[in-house]
Each structure stands twice: as structure tokens, then as C-alpha cells.
């Protein structure tokens, strides 16, 4: 008799007395054997004992023990869009519950979030004044621009808050590309790296704890690291590289929010092709060698295999994943349509990202998670 038959027979016996003779026969067999063998062998099991999984997660606490990583507030980085009109506070239509804010609106907004356990933000500059854009992205490191002003303000008002700055030119270039272009419209890698590493240095000098280049130009991690070393800041400024950043439509809502849509062409020459696992692995290894302190993968949920690759390749550094604007907007839209519960889906997608190997998650759900995790 198999183990499961025995169990169901015993259960059956409790309900139906008319089978008691058969059951007592089984019982007496089991009792008889227990005198001569261990308890474990007293039941005949045709299947493998390792097939019995339920006990490992039958209790809420034992269920939590099964997770290699549990989502905590420390893992979360919240993206903020800072615009050049200091008083602005405008909802972003493509990103539910997210706003473009001017520098005067940031502190009152963040105060309650910090009280609830917000540890880190990533800043994106959104210059709305058309004169702020030119071919070189000059406004990116303007000392009176919204990002540098916000870094200074947050450092003085919230000394415990960890400030990450996205480093790119696309919000500041007239053409909307993530670097400086040649006359023929192609990306000039050397010039772009020069400029982007200067911008990173300016953010670091203003007090950013972490600079995160998202431009995807080759060699920018090394250039930034060298400038940080030269400037005597390498010991206090962390370099998080958007190493495996795949091209695709999932950044659409962000480009809407940041006004950073390319005016011609697309970003396929510098962002990775969606099938390019080999390229992603090479970029991750290269960025580690060039001095990155954290490796980032984005988007998150459609690239869980790459997050796992990153964790395997970057065994000795943290891996971050960016749940990008399109992933967030999709979850919101589906929840709004009644397809699933927003909270349940936010947890499931984020926990999937952690399970794949990330220890840091950049997500627009941070304010909700601060409520849900308390």
C-alpha cells in the first residue's frame, strides 16, 4: 500500500465505520512493524520521501523561510523627476501617481515618505524650458539646474537619504539622444564619454552618493571612475552602471515624463537588442572590469534571465534591477481594468526580480511599498 493510499484510507476510516476492519488490519501491520523497525520505515512508501514538500511551507513563518531574499525597504530606490520650474507639481499622464516636481516641491513631498522609511531616490532632470536644450546637453551639469540644486537641498535637509543621480544627456540634448552626435547623426562615442563623465563628476561634487550612467556609451564607466579618482572622490561616490540596458518600448512613459524622446532615429545603436544575451554578459563583465560598484539590468521583469546572469557574473558586487516606466504603467493599467489586484501584482513582480538575483530594485512603486511593508 502506498503512503498516500494509507493516508486516505485512514481519513476514510474516520468518516466511515464500515471499513474499520480493513483499516485495523493496516494499523496492526504498522504497529507490528514498528517494534522491529524505525518509525520512518513503519509506513511503506512507494514514492520518494523527497516528494513531500507541503510541510516546508505550511505555516506563514516557514513560508517566509523559503525565500532566499525578502523584500525590505532598504532595497528600494525611488525615481524622481525634477523640473526647472521651482513651483511645479504636475501629474505625469503616462505614469499614474507620479509627478514632475520643481525644487521647492521636493522637500514637502519627501518628508512623509522618509518618515515611512524611504532610504534612497534617483534623480532625473526634466528641463521644460526649450532654451535649456542644445546639441551638447550643456544644461546637464548647470550648477543652477534642477538636479544639482536638488542634490544640495536633499543633502542638507535629509542627511540620511541616499542620493543617486541618473547620468545621461538625453533630457538636455536638442535631438534627444543619449550623447553627442557627429554631423551624420551617429553617436560620437569618445566625445559623449568625455561629456558624460564631466556631468557625473559635477553631480558627485554637488554631493550625490551615487552616479548612475544610463547612456550606454562604451567606456563611460572607466572614464567616470578615473575622474572620480583624480578628483579624490572615488572613496565616497559609488558608481552604479546601467550595464545591461535593453532597447524597446518599455521606456515610452519615461520619455514622455522626461521629455527625452529622440527627435529622429531611435536608440538601437547603443541600447542592447532584446535578444542580445551575449552582449549583456559582455557589457556586465566589461563594466565590472572598468570599476563599476553596482551592476544594473533593465527592464526587469522581461529580463529575469539577464538578472540571474548578472548575479552569476558579478558574484562580488550588488546587482540592481530597474522596473521601468512601461512595466509600472502596464501593471497599473491591468489593475485598473480589474485584471488583478495592484498590490498583489506589485509584490509578485518585485519578488520575482529579487528571486532572479537582484538585491536592489528601482521602482515607481516605492511609496506604496513603504505603506505595504510597514
261 is in an annotated binding site: no
Structure-block grid coordinates of residue 22: 480493513
- Residues 303 and 243: beta-carbon distance below 8 Å: no
One of 251, 270, 365, 369 touching ligand PBG (CB under 6 A): 251
In the complex, the smallest distance separating the C-beta of residue 88 from ligand PBG, rounded to whole angstroms, is 20
Closest CA to 273 of 244, 234, 236: 244
Does residue 325 belong to the site contacting ligand PBG (CB under 6 A)? Answer: yes
In the complex, the smallest distance separating the C-beta of residue 258 from Zn ion, rounded to whole angstroms, is 9
Strand partners, 80: 123
Closer to Zn ion by Cβ: residue 206 or 258: 258
Binding residues vs Zn ion (CB under 5 A): 168, 170, 178
Using CA of residue 67, residue 325, residue 163, residue 212, what is the dihedral sign?
positive
Q: Kindly report the number of other CB atoms within 10 A of residue 261's CB atom.
A: 13
170 is in an annotated binding site: yes
In the complex, the smallest distance separating the C-beta of residue 215 from Zn ion, rounded to whole angstroms, is 5
One of 100, 101, 133, 255 touching ligand PBG (CB under 6 A): 255
Which letter does DSSP use for residue 42 in this model?
G
Structure-block grid coordinates of residue 16: 466511515
One of 118, 324, 346, 354 touching ligand PBG (CB under 6 A): 324
Instruction: Supply the residues annotated as catalytic.
Output: 245, 298
In 3-state terms, the chain is what percent helix, strand and coil (to 5)? 50, 15, 35
- DSSP symbols for 177-218: -SSPBPTTS-B-HHHHHHHHHHHHHHHHHHT-SEEEE-S--T
Non-local CB neighbours of 108 within 8 Å, separated by 6+ positions: none
The pair phi, psi for residue 81, each rounded to 5°, is -100, 115
Q: Which does 71 bind (CB under 5 to 8 A by kind): ligand PBG, Zn ion, none?
A: none
In the complex, the smallest distance separating the C-beta of residue 236 from ligand PBG, rounded to whole angstroms, is 23
Q: What is the dihedral of CA 298, 70, 355, 368, to 10 degrees?
A: -40
364 is in an annotated binding site: yes
Does residue 170 belong to the site contacting ligand PBG (CB under 6 A)? Answer: yes
One of 80, 82, 140, 178 touching ligand PBG (CB under 6 A): 178
Residue with the CB atom nearest ligand PBG in the bound state:
254
Strand partners, 238: 210
Closer to Zn ion by Cβ: residue 140 or 284: 140
In the complex, the smallest distance separating the C-beta of residue 255 from ligand PBG, rounded to whole angstroms, is 6
Q: Which residues carry a binding-site annotation for 5-aminolevulinate?
A: 255, 267, 325, 364
Residues binding ligand PBG (CB under 6 A): 166, 168, 170, 178, 214-215, 251, 254-255, 267, 324-325
Amino acid at each position: 500500500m502506498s503512503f498516500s493510499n494509507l493516508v486516505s484510507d485512514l481519513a476514510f476510516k474516520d468518516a466511515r465505520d464500515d471499513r474499520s476492519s480493513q483499516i485495523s488490519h493496516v494499523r496492526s501491520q504498522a504497529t507490528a512493524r514498528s517494534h522491529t523497525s524505525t518509525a520512518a520505515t513503519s509506513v511503506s512508501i512507494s514514492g520518494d520521501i523527497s516528494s513531500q514538500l507541503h510541510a516546508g511551507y505550511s505555516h506563514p513563518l516557514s513560508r517566509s523561510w523559503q525565500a532566499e531574499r525578502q523584500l525590505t525597504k532598504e532595497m528600494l530606490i525611488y525615481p524622481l523627476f525634477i523640473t526647472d520650474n521651482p513651483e511645479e507639481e504636475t501629474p505625469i499622464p503616462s505614469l499614474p501617481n507620479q509627478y514632475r516636481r520643481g525644487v521647492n516641491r521636493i522637500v514637502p513631498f519627501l518628508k512623509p515618505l522618509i518618515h515611512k522609511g524611504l532610504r534612497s531616490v534617483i534623480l532625473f532632470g526634466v528641463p521644460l524650458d526649450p532654451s535649456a536644450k542644445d546639441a551638447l546637453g550643456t544644461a546637464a551639469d548647470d550648477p543652477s539646474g534642477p538636479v544639482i540644486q536638488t542634490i544640495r537641498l536633499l543633502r542638507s535637509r535629509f542627511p540620511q537619504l541616499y542620493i543617486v543621480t541618473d547620468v545621461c544627456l538625453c533630457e538636455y540634448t536638442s535631438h534627444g539622444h543619449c550623447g553627442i552626435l557627429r554631423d551624420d547623426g551617429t553617436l560620437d562615442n569618445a566625445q559623449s564619454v568625455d561629456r558624460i563623465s564631466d556631468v557625473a563628476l559635477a553631480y558627485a561634487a554637488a554631493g550625490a552618493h551615487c552616479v548612475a550612467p544610463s547612456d550606454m556609451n562604451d567606456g563611460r564607466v572607466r572614464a567616470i571612475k578615473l575622474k572620480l579618482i583624480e578628483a579624490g572622490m572615488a572613496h565616497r561616490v559609488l558608481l552604479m552602471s546601467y550595464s545591461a540596458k535593453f532597447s524597446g518600448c518599455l521606456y515610452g512613459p519615461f520619455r514622455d515624463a522626461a521629455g527625452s524622446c529622440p527627435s529622429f532615429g531611435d536608440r538601437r545603436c547603443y541600447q542592447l537588442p532584446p535578444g542580445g544575451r551575449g552582449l549583456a554578459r559582455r557589457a556586465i563583465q566589461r563594466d565590472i572590469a572598468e570599476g563599476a560598484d553596482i551592476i544594473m539590468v533593465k527592464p526587469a521583469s522581461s529580463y529575469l534571465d539577464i538578472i540571474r546572469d548578472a548575479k552569476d557574473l558579478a558574484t562580488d558586487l550588488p546587482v540592481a534591477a530597474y522596473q521601468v516606466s512601461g512595466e509600472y504603467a502596464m501593471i497599473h493599467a491591468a489593475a485598473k481594468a480589474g485584471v488583478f489586484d495592484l498590490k498583489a501584482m506589485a509584490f509578485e513582480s518585485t519578488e520575482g526580480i529579487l528571486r532572479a538575483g537582484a538585491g536592489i530594485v528601482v521602482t515607481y512603486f516605492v511609496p506604496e511599498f513603504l505603506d505595504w511593508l510597514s
